[in-house]
């Protein structure tokens, strides 16, 4: 499985943007980049995914580097509810598995 | 929309007892997954069903664990006999289809404590 590298933790202030980096230098051409988050005492929650182009949805934006070896999840205005562990995961196009690493613990200060 | 529903939310039982965890996937989803989360090992896939058929059970720890999916709207994970090291949070997830582009939707989990 292709691996991802994320910082252990990040802090942000409420209502400010949060940029979460993910390195995946061994990504293959058929790997999708997925982001999930897990709030305390809840199950993982799908955030966004992409293949080559940048993606936007109601929760976040995903910026993918041109060489696809890194990506950034962008939360445009952090709220206290965005405090969670964020996981960056690679999935091959024919793969059913989600392999969770340690993720990035995001803390949001009021 | 109803998400993935798991029951019970919490279970505390004594070592040696049988434990049954239940999951109702999102209607219309044909893939179902059971995961386990512990501090030591993080989130691990235990078993994957597609169209009610177990496809990959390589993550099931040992014979004490079994999972069934009798129909498209219900699955169980059973531990018999239970041991303290089985204490963990167990998550069920479902997806509309398999494949790298398909999101998985998780329930809120069952927190299992074996005394």
Q: Would the CB atoms of A96 and B107 count as touching at under 8 Å?
A: no
Tell me if residue A47 falls in helix, strand or coil. Answer: strand
The string of pLDDT tens digits covering residues B71-110 is 999 999 999 999 999 999 999 999 998 888 899 999 999 9
- As a whole number, mean pLDDT of residues B11-38 equals 97
Q: Are B33 and B50 in contact (CB under 8 A)?
A: no
Q: Mutating which of A45, A96, A100 best tests the B interface, going by the most B Cβ atoms within 10 A?
A: A96
| Residue B48 pLDDT grade (very low, low, confident, very high; cuts 50, 70, 90) | very high
A57 token code pair: 């949805």
Q: Are A19 and A11 in contact (CB under 8 A)?
A: no
Whether the ω angle into residue B104 lies within 30 degrees of 0, i.e. cis, is no
A-B C-beta contacts closer than 8 Å: 57
Q: Would the CB atoms of A100 and B107 count as touching at under 8 Å?
A: no
Per the rule left: phi > 0, alpha: psi between -120 and 50, beta: everything else, B96 is alpha
**Contacting residues for B53 by C-beta, under 8 A, at least 6 apart:** B69
B90 token code pair: 């167990």
Q: Mutating which of A37, A43, A47 best tests the B interface, going by the most B Cβ atoms within 10 A?
A: A43
Chain B: residues touching A (Cβ < 8 Å): 4, 31, 33, 42-43, 45, 48, 50, 55-56, 91, 93, 95, 98-101, 103-109
Measured CA to CA, the distance from residue A67 to residue A25 in angstroms comes to 9
């Amino acid at each position: 499985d292709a691996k991802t590298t994320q910082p252990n933790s990040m802090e942000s202030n409420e209502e400010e943007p949060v940029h979460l980096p993910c390195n995946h230098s061994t990504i293959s051409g058929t790997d999708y980049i997925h982001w999930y988050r897990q709030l305390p005492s809840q199950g993982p929650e799908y955030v966004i995914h992409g293949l080559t182009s940048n993606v936007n949805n109601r929760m976040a934006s995903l910026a993918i580097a041109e060489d696809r070896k890194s990506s950034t999840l962008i939360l445009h205005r952090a709220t206290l509810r965005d405090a969670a562990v964020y996981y960056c995961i690679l999935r091959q196009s024919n793969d059913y598995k989600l392999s969770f690493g340690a993720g990035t613990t995001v803390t949001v200060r009021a | 929309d109803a998400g993935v529903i798991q029951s019970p939310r919490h279970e505390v039982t004594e070592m040696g007892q049988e434990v049954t965890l239940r999951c109702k996937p999102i209607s219309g989803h044909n893939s179902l997954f059971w995961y386990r989360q512990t501090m030591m090992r993080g989130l691990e896939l235990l078993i994957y069903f597609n169209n009610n058929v177990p496809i990959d059970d390589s993550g099931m720890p040992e014979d004490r664990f079994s999972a069934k999916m009798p129909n498209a709207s219900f699955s169980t994970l059973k531990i018999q006999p239970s041991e303290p090291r089985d204490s963990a949070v167990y998550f069920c997830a479902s997806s509309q289809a398999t494949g790298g582009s398909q999101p998985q939707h998780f329930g809120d989990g069952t927190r299992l404590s074996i005394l």
